[in-house]
Structure 1
Amino acid sequence: MSKSARNRNNRQNVLTKTSPPWGAIAFFTTIGVIVLAAVGFAAWQAFKPAEAIAGLVEKDGLKQDHVQTPVTYDTTPPMGGPHHPVWQNCDGRVYDQPLKNEHAVHSLEHGAVWFTYRPGLASGELDKLKSKVEGTDYTMLSPVQNQDAPIVLSAWGKQVKVDKADDGRINAFLKAYLKGPQTPEPGAACSGGKDTP
Protein backbone atom coordinates (compact mmCIF):
# COMPACT_ATOMS: atom_id res chain seq x y z
CA MET A 1 0.00 0.00 0.00
CA SER A 2 1.36 3.40 -0.90
CA LYS A 3 2.20 5.96 1.72
CA SER A 4 -0.60 8.30 0.59
CA ALA A 5 -3.17 5.46 0.77
CA ARG A 6 -2.02 4.60 4.29
CA ASN A 7 -2.35 8.26 5.36
CA ARG A 8 -5.87 8.35 3.88
CA ASN A 9 -6.82 5.16 5.78
CA ASN A 10 -5.35 6.53 9.01
CA ARG A 11 -7.34 9.77 8.60
CA GLN A 12 -10.54 7.81 7.95
CA ASN A 13 -9.90 5.60 11.00
CA VAL A 14 -9.27 8.67 13.16
CA LEU A 15 -12.46 10.37 11.87
CA THR A 16 -14.46 7.20 12.36
CA LYS A 17 -13.20 6.66 15.91
CA THR A 18 -13.62 10.27 17.07
CA SER A 19 -16.89 11.34 15.46
CA PRO A 20 -19.54 12.05 18.10
CA PRO A 21 -22.48 9.63 18.51
CA TRP A 22 -25.12 12.11 17.32
CA GLY A 23 -28.00 9.70 17.76
CA ALA A 24 -27.22 9.11 21.44
CA ILE A 25 -26.63 12.82 22.04
CA ALA A 26 -29.98 13.72 20.48
CA PHE A 27 -31.78 11.01 22.47
CA PHE A 28 -30.34 12.02 25.85
CA THR A 29 -30.82 15.73 25.13
CA THR A 30 -34.50 15.09 24.39
CA ILE A 31 -34.89 13.04 27.59
CA GLY A 32 -33.16 15.80 29.57
CA VAL A 33 -35.48 18.49 28.16
CA ILE A 34 -38.56 16.37 29.00
CA VAL A 35 -37.34 15.75 32.57
CA LEU A 36 -36.56 19.45 33.10
CA ALA A 37 -39.99 20.43 31.77
CA ALA A 38 -41.74 17.92 34.07
CA VAL A 39 -39.77 19.08 37.13
CA GLY A 40 -40.42 22.72 36.28
CA PHE A 41 -44.15 22.12 35.86
CA ALA A 42 -44.35 20.19 39.15
CA ALA A 43 -42.50 22.98 40.97
CA TRP A 44 -44.80 25.60 39.45
CA GLN A 45 -47.87 23.61 40.55
CA ALA A 46 -46.51 23.24 44.08
CA PHE A 47 -45.46 26.84 44.55
CA LYS A 48 -47.82 28.86 42.37
CA PRO A 49 -49.68 31.50 44.35
CA ALA A 50 -53.14 30.52 45.52
CA GLU A 51 -56.00 32.16 43.70
CA ALA A 52 -57.70 34.89 45.69
CA ILE A 53 -60.68 33.59 47.66
CA ALA A 54 -63.49 36.13 47.86
CA GLY A 55 -64.43 36.95 51.44
CA LEU A 56 -61.31 35.36 52.94
CA VAL A 57 -60.58 36.62 56.47
CA GLU A 58 -56.96 36.39 57.61
CA LYS A 59 -55.48 36.87 61.06
CA ASP A 60 -51.75 36.94 61.82
CA GLY A 61 -49.86 36.72 65.09
CA LEU A 62 -52.12 34.16 66.75
CA LYS A 63 -50.73 32.77 70.01
CA GLN A 64 -50.03 29.05 70.26
CA ASP A 65 -50.06 28.67 74.04
CA HIS A 66 -51.39 25.46 75.59
CA VAL A 67 -54.00 26.15 78.25
CA GLN A 68 -56.26 24.03 80.46
CA THR A 69 -58.93 26.71 80.85
CA PRO A 70 -61.68 27.92 78.49
CA VAL A 71 -60.57 30.57 75.99
CA THR A 72 -62.63 33.51 74.78
CA TYR A 73 -61.98 33.75 71.05
CA ASP A 74 -62.77 36.80 68.96
CA THR A 75 -64.38 34.87 66.09
CA THR A 76 -67.07 32.18 66.00
CA PRO A 77 -65.79 29.64 65.20
CA PRO A 78 -62.21 30.50 66.14
CA MET A 79 -59.38 30.29 63.63
CA GLY A 80 -56.45 30.08 66.00
CA GLY A 81 -55.06 31.20 69.32
CA PRO A 82 -54.37 29.57 72.69
CA HIS A 83 -55.71 26.03 72.87
CA HIS A 84 -55.90 22.81 74.86
CA PRO A 85 -52.85 20.50 74.77
CA VAL A 86 -54.99 17.71 73.22
CA TRP A 87 -56.20 18.19 69.64
CA GLN A 88 -59.56 17.10 68.26
CA ASN A 89 -59.31 14.10 65.94
CA CYS A 90 -59.53 15.53 62.44
CA ASP A 91 -58.99 12.49 60.25
CA GLY A 92 -62.04 13.10 58.04
CA ARG A 93 -64.25 13.11 61.12
CA VAL A 94 -67.94 14.14 61.17
CA TYR A 95 -69.24 15.18 64.60
CA ASP A 96 -72.96 15.70 65.20
CA GLN A 97 -72.42 17.76 68.38
CA PRO A 98 -70.50 21.03 68.89
CA LEU A 99 -66.80 20.64 69.65
CA LYS A 100 -64.85 22.37 72.38
CA ASN A 101 -63.15 25.23 70.60
CA GLU A 102 -59.89 24.72 72.46
CA HIS A 103 -59.47 21.19 71.06
CA ALA A 104 -60.55 22.14 67.54
CA VAL A 105 -58.12 25.08 67.45
CA HIS A 106 -55.28 22.69 68.32
CA SER A 107 -56.24 20.68 65.20
CA LEU A 108 -56.01 23.86 63.12
CA GLU A 109 -52.48 24.31 64.43
CA HIS A 110 -51.69 20.87 62.94
CA GLY A 111 -52.96 21.90 59.49
CA ALA A 112 -56.63 20.85 59.66
CA VAL A 113 -59.57 22.55 57.99
CA TRP A 114 -62.61 22.74 60.26
CA PHE A 115 -65.97 22.73 58.47
CA THR A 116 -68.70 24.15 60.67
CA TYR A 117 -72.38 24.67 60.02
CA ARG A 118 -75.19 26.48 61.72
CA PRO A 119 -77.69 24.05 63.29
CA GLY A 120 -80.75 23.71 61.09
CA LEU A 121 -78.75 23.58 57.84
CA ALA A 122 -80.78 21.73 55.18
CA SER A 123 -80.05 18.01 55.15
CA GLY A 124 -79.01 18.07 51.48
CA GLU A 125 -76.44 20.76 52.22
CA LEU A 126 -75.18 18.85 55.25
CA ASP A 127 -74.82 15.67 53.17
CA LYS A 128 -72.65 17.56 50.66
CA LEU A 129 -70.40 18.78 53.46
CA LYS A 130 -70.14 15.29 54.92
CA SER A 131 -69.08 13.92 51.53
CA LYS A 132 -66.26 16.49 51.35
CA VAL A 133 -65.01 15.69 54.86
CA GLU A 134 -65.39 11.92 55.12
CA GLY A 135 -62.26 10.29 53.81
CA THR A 136 -60.32 13.57 53.63
CA ASP A 137 -57.55 13.52 56.20
CA TYR A 138 -56.99 16.69 58.24
CA THR A 139 -60.66 17.74 58.08
CA MET A 140 -63.51 17.68 60.55
CA LEU A 141 -67.13 18.82 60.52
CA SER A 142 -69.32 19.95 63.40
CA PRO A 143 -72.22 22.26 64.20
CA VAL A 144 -71.49 25.62 65.84
CA GLN A 145 -74.20 27.59 67.61
CA ASN A 146 -74.44 31.30 66.80
CA GLN A 147 -72.12 31.39 63.81
CA ASP A 148 -73.24 34.15 61.46
CA ALA A 149 -73.14 32.15 58.22
CA PRO A 150 -74.68 28.81 57.26
CA ILE A 151 -71.23 27.28 56.57
CA VAL A 152 -67.77 28.38 57.72
CA LEU A 153 -64.38 26.89 56.84
CA SER A 154 -61.52 27.64 59.21
CA ALA A 155 -57.79 26.93 59.06
CA TRP A 156 -55.08 28.45 61.26
CA GLY A 157 -55.46 32.22 60.72
CA LYS A 158 -57.76 31.77 57.70
CA GLN A 159 -61.55 31.67 57.40
CA VAL A 160 -64.22 31.90 54.74
CA LYS A 161 -68.02 31.99 55.13
CA VAL A 162 -70.36 30.58 52.50
CA ASP A 163 -74.09 30.04 52.10
CA LYS A 164 -74.11 26.81 50.07
CA ALA A 165 -72.14 23.56 50.20
CA ASP A 166 -71.41 23.70 46.47
CA ASP A 167 -69.77 27.15 46.65
CA GLY A 168 -66.51 26.94 44.67
CA ARG A 169 -64.65 28.73 47.46
CA ILE A 170 -64.84 25.57 49.57
CA ASN A 171 -62.60 23.60 47.21
CA ALA A 172 -60.33 26.62 46.73
CA PHE A 173 -59.98 26.97 50.51
CA LEU A 174 -59.16 23.28 50.92
CA LYS A 175 -56.57 23.43 48.15
CA ALA A 176 -54.91 26.50 49.63
CA TYR A 177 -55.03 25.76 53.36
CA LEU A 178 -55.42 22.03 54.06
CA LYS A 179 -51.96 21.39 55.58
CA GLY A 180 -51.09 24.67 53.87
CA PRO A 181 -48.21 27.09 54.33
CA GLN A 182 -49.96 28.81 57.26
CA THR A 183 -49.74 25.60 59.37
CA PRO A 184 -47.68 26.30 62.54
CA GLU A 185 -46.92 22.61 63.15
CA PRO A 186 -46.72 20.86 59.77
CA GLY A 187 -46.63 17.08 59.98
CA ALA A 188 -48.28 16.95 63.42
CA ALA A 189 -50.92 14.24 63.93
CA CYS A 190 -54.63 14.60 63.32
CA SER A 191 -55.55 11.32 65.01
CA GLY A 192 -54.77 9.99 68.46
CA GLY A 193 -56.29 13.05 70.12
CA LYS A 194 -59.78 13.75 71.47
CA ASP A 195 -62.29 11.43 69.82
CA THR A 196 -65.56 12.79 71.23
CA PRO A 197 -67.19 16.24 71.07
Structure 2
Amino acid sequence: MSKSARNKNARKTKNALTQRETPWGAIAFFTLIGVVATVVIGYAFMQSRPSSADDASIAGMVTKDGLGRDHTTSPVKYETDPPMGGDHDAAWNNCNGRVYDAPLRNENAVHSLEHGAVWFAYRPGLPAAQLDALKAKVTGTDYTFLSPYPSLDAPIVLSAWGRQLKLQDASDKRADQFLRAFVKGPQTPEPGAPCDGGKDTP
Protein backbone atom coordinates (compact mmCIF):
# COMPACT_ATOMS: atom_id res chain seq x y z
CA MET A 1 0.00 0.00 0.00
CA SER A 2 1.34 3.39 -0.96
CA LYS A 3 2.13 6.02 1.65
CA SER A 4 -0.67 8.30 0.38
CA ALA A 5 -3.22 5.45 0.69
CA ARG A 6 -2.12 4.76 4.26
CA ASN A 7 -2.49 8.46 5.16
CA LYS A 8 -5.95 8.54 3.58
CA ASN A 9 -7.07 5.48 5.62
CA ALA A 10 -5.66 7.02 8.83
CA ARG A 11 -7.61 10.23 8.20
CA LYS A 12 -10.81 8.26 7.67
CA THR A 13 -10.29 6.34 10.94
CA LYS A 14 -9.54 9.55 12.84
CA ASN A 15 -12.60 11.30 11.42
CA ALA A 16 -14.83 8.36 12.41
CA LEU A 17 -13.61 8.62 16.02
CA THR A 18 -13.83 12.38 16.27
CA GLN A 19 -17.19 12.71 14.58
CA ARG A 20 -19.11 11.00 17.38
CA GLU A 21 -22.39 12.79 18.06
CA THR A 22 -22.35 15.24 20.99
CA PRO A 23 -25.04 14.26 23.56
CA TRP A 24 -26.82 17.64 23.45
CA GLY A 25 -29.95 16.23 25.10
CA ALA A 26 -28.08 15.08 28.20
CA ILE A 27 -26.09 18.33 28.39
CA ALA A 28 -29.26 20.41 28.15
CA PHE A 29 -31.02 18.26 30.78
CA PHE A 30 -28.25 18.53 33.39
CA THR A 31 -27.76 22.23 32.68
CA LEU A 32 -31.47 22.79 33.29
CA ILE A 33 -31.32 20.77 36.54
CA GLY A 34 -28.37 22.90 37.70
CA VAL A 35 -30.16 26.15 36.92
CA VAL A 36 -33.35 25.05 38.67
CA ALA A 37 -31.40 23.90 41.75
CA THR A 38 -29.55 27.22 41.91
CA VAL A 39 -32.80 29.20 41.66
CA VAL A 40 -34.54 27.08 44.32
CA ILE A 41 -31.64 27.33 46.78
CA GLY A 42 -31.29 31.05 46.18
CA TYR A 43 -35.02 31.63 46.68
CA ALA A 44 -35.06 29.59 49.89
CA PHE A 45 -32.10 31.55 51.22
CA MET A 46 -33.69 34.88 50.40
CA GLN A 47 -36.95 33.85 52.06
CA SER A 48 -35.21 32.72 55.22
CA ARG A 49 -32.85 35.65 55.55
CA PRO A 50 -34.04 39.09 54.44
CA SER A 51 -31.47 41.56 53.19
CA SER A 52 -30.18 44.34 55.40
CA ALA A 53 -32.39 46.72 53.42
CA ASP A 54 -35.45 44.68 54.46
CA ASP A 55 -34.30 44.71 58.08
CA ALA A 56 -33.85 48.46 58.01
CA SER A 57 -37.32 48.92 56.50
CA ILE A 58 -39.07 47.80 59.71
CA ALA A 59 -40.59 51.11 60.74
CA GLY A 60 -39.84 52.19 64.28
CA MET A 61 -37.11 49.64 64.93
CA VAL A 62 -34.30 50.72 67.26
CA THR A 63 -30.77 49.43 66.59
CA LYS A 64 -27.86 49.22 69.02
CA ASP A 65 -24.44 47.78 68.14
CA GLY A 66 -21.29 47.20 70.16
CA LEU A 67 -23.06 45.59 73.12
CA GLY A 68 -21.02 43.88 75.84
CA ARG A 69 -21.13 40.09 76.16
CA ASP A 70 -19.40 39.30 79.45
CA HIS A 71 -20.90 36.88 81.95
CA THR A 72 -21.66 38.27 85.39
CA THR A 73 -23.50 37.26 88.55
CA SER A 74 -24.16 40.90 89.46
CA PRO A 75 -27.20 42.93 88.40
CA VAL A 76 -26.61 44.82 85.15
CA LYS A 77 -27.81 48.37 84.49
CA TYR A 78 -29.09 48.22 80.91
CA GLU A 79 -29.56 51.21 78.64
CA THR A 80 -33.01 50.11 77.46
CA ASP A 81 -35.99 48.63 79.25
CA PRO A 82 -36.32 45.81 78.40
CA PRO A 83 -32.70 45.28 77.40
CA MET A 84 -31.71 44.18 73.91
CA GLY A 85 -28.23 42.92 74.72
CA GLY A 86 -25.22 43.50 76.91
CA ASP A 87 -23.43 41.69 79.73
CA HIS A 88 -25.55 38.89 81.18
CA ASP A 89 -25.84 35.89 83.46
CA ALA A 90 -24.17 32.63 82.45
CA ALA A 91 -27.60 30.91 82.45
CA TRP A 92 -30.16 31.67 79.78
CA ASN A 93 -33.94 31.42 79.91
CA ASN A 94 -35.35 28.58 77.84
CA CYS A 95 -36.52 30.15 74.61
CA ASN A 96 -37.82 27.23 72.54
CA GLY A 97 -41.26 28.78 71.99
CA ARG A 98 -41.66 29.29 75.74
CA VAL A 99 -44.46 31.25 77.44
CA TYR A 100 -43.71 32.58 80.93
CA ASP A 101 -46.43 33.82 83.27
CA ALA A 102 -44.15 35.94 85.47
CA PRO A 103 -41.50 38.58 84.72
CA LEU A 104 -38.02 37.28 83.92
CA ARG A 105 -34.67 38.37 85.26
CA ASN A 106 -33.15 40.62 82.60
CA GLU A 107 -29.69 39.09 82.89
CA ASN A 108 -30.99 35.61 81.97
CA ALA A 109 -33.28 36.82 79.19
CA VAL A 110 -30.42 38.74 77.56
CA HIS A 111 -28.39 35.54 77.38
CA SER A 112 -31.27 34.03 75.37
CA LEU A 113 -31.06 36.98 72.97
CA GLU A 114 -27.36 36.23 72.51
CA HIS A 115 -28.33 32.76 71.28
CA GLY A 116 -30.59 34.23 68.59
CA ALA A 117 -33.95 34.34 70.37
CA VAL A 118 -36.63 37.01 70.02
CA TRP A 119 -38.17 38.11 73.32
CA PHE A 120 -41.85 39.12 73.31
CA ALA A 121 -42.49 41.29 76.37
CA TYR A 122 -45.97 42.59 77.15
CA ARG A 123 -47.39 44.99 79.67
CA PRO A 124 -49.66 43.30 82.24
CA GLY A 125 -53.30 44.11 81.48
CA LEU A 126 -52.89 43.48 77.74
CA PRO A 127 -56.33 42.44 76.40
CA ALA A 128 -56.82 38.66 76.49
CA ALA A 129 -57.31 38.35 72.72
CA GLN A 130 -53.99 40.10 72.07
CA LEU A 131 -52.18 38.01 74.65
CA ASP A 132 -53.59 34.84 73.07
CA ALA A 133 -52.36 36.02 69.68
CA LEU A 134 -48.86 36.54 71.07
CA LYS A 135 -48.90 33.13 72.76
CA ALA A 136 -49.90 31.46 69.49
CA LYS A 137 -47.09 33.24 67.63
CA VAL A 138 -44.48 32.28 70.22
CA THR A 139 -45.48 28.66 70.76
CA GLY A 140 -45.36 28.15 67.00
CA THR A 141 -41.85 29.60 66.61
CA ASP A 142 -38.64 28.17 68.01
CA TYR A 143 -36.11 30.68 69.37
CA THR A 144 -38.83 32.88 70.86
CA PHE A 145 -40.14 33.45 74.38
CA LEU A 146 -42.87 35.55 75.95
CA SER A 147 -43.14 37.15 79.37
CA PRO A 148 -44.91 40.00 81.18
CA TYR A 149 -42.81 43.10 81.77
CA PRO A 150 -44.50 45.60 84.12
CA SER A 151 -42.41 48.70 83.33
CA LEU A 152 -42.98 48.75 79.56
CA ASP A 153 -43.82 52.10 77.99
CA ALA A 154 -45.66 50.31 75.14
CA PRO A 155 -48.15 47.43 75.25
CA ILE A 156 -45.75 45.04 73.47
CA VAL A 157 -41.99 45.16 72.91
CA LEU A 158 -40.04 42.73 70.72
CA SER A 159 -36.32 42.45 71.41
CA ALA A 160 -33.52 40.62 69.63
CA TRP A 161 -29.80 41.11 70.16
CA GLY A 162 -29.21 44.78 69.31
CA ARG A 163 -32.69 45.26 67.82
CA GLN A 164 -35.99 46.37 69.40
CA LEU A 165 -39.49 47.18 68.20
CA LYS A 166 -42.41 48.64 70.17
CA LEU A 167 -45.95 47.73 69.13
CA GLN A 168 -49.39 48.92 70.13
CA ASP A 169 -51.22 45.81 68.93
CA ALA A 170 -50.43 42.10 68.55
CA SER A 171 -51.82 42.10 65.01
CA ASP A 172 -49.18 44.57 63.78
CA LYS A 173 -47.56 42.96 60.72
CA ARG A 174 -44.17 44.31 61.76
CA ALA A 175 -44.04 41.53 64.38
CA ASP A 176 -43.75 38.91 61.63
CA GLN A 177 -41.15 41.02 59.80
CA PHE A 178 -39.13 41.23 63.00
CA LEU A 179 -39.31 37.47 63.52
CA ARG A 180 -38.23 36.70 59.95
CA ALA A 181 -35.31 39.07 60.26
CA PHE A 182 -34.02 38.32 63.74
CA VAL A 183 -34.77 34.76 64.87
CA LYS A 184 -31.14 33.54 64.80
CA GLY A 185 -30.48 36.78 62.93
CA PRO A 186 -27.21 37.82 61.30
CA GLN A 187 -26.50 40.34 64.08
CA THR A 188 -26.71 37.63 66.77
CA PRO A 189 -23.37 36.77 68.44
CA GLU A 190 -24.19 33.04 68.87
CA PRO A 191 -27.01 32.18 66.43
CA GLY A 192 -28.31 28.67 66.99
CA ALA A 193 -26.74 28.17 70.43
CA PRO A 194 -29.08 26.19 72.73
CA CYS A 195 -32.52 27.55 73.53
CA ASP A 196 -33.29 24.73 75.95
CA GLY A 197 -31.35 23.36 78.90
CA GLY A 198 -31.40 26.76 80.61
CA LYS A 199 -33.64 28.31 83.26
CA ASP A 200 -37.27 27.31 82.98
CA THR A 201 -38.42 29.69 85.71
CA PRO A 202 -38.13 33.47 86.11
Give 1:46 deviation, angstroms.
5.0
Which among 115, 126, 135 is matched to residue 130 of structure 1? 135
Q: Find the counterpart in structure 2 of residue 77 from structure 1.
A: 82
Which among 8, 21, 24 is matched to residue 23 of structure 2? 21
Pair 175,21 (structure 1): closer, same or farther in 2 beyond 3 Å: same
d(CA) in 2 for partners of 1:58, 1:76: 14
User: What per-residue deviation string (whole Å, max 9, x for no partner) do you get for residues 46-102 of structure 1?
Assistant: 555142100000111110111111111121111111111110111111111100011
Structure 1 portions without partners, runs of 5+:
none
Higher mean displacement: 112-121 or 40-49: 40-49
Structure 2 portions without partners, runs of 5+:
none
d(CA) in 2 for partners of 1:44, 1:113: 20
* Structure-to-structure mapping, 1:1-197, within 5 angstroms: 14=16, 18-46=20-48, 48-50=50-52, 51=54, 52-197=57-202
d(CA) in 2 for partners of 1:78, 1:145: 14
The answer (yes or no) to whether the contact 2:119–2:144 under 8 Å persists in 1 is: yes
Q: TM-score, structure 1 length as denominator?
A: 0.87
Give 1:14 deviation, angstroms.
1.9
d(CA) in 2 for partners of 1:94, 1:44: 29
The answer (yes or no) to whether the contact 1:91–1:135 under 8 Å persists in 2 is: no
d(CA) in 2 for partners of 1:23, 1:148: 65
Q: CA RMSD in A?
A: 2.1
d(CA) in 2 for partners of 1:170, 1:26: 44
The answer (yes or no) to whether the contact 2:49–2:181 under 8 Å persists in 1 is: no
Higher mean displacement: 128-137 or 162-171: 128-137
The answer (yes or no) to whether the contact 2:64–2:162 under 8 Å persists in 1 is: yes
Q: TM-score, structure 2 length as denominator?
A: 0.85
2:137 aligned partner, one-letter code: K
The answer (yes or no) to whether the contact 2:71–2:87 under 8 Å persists in 1 is: yes
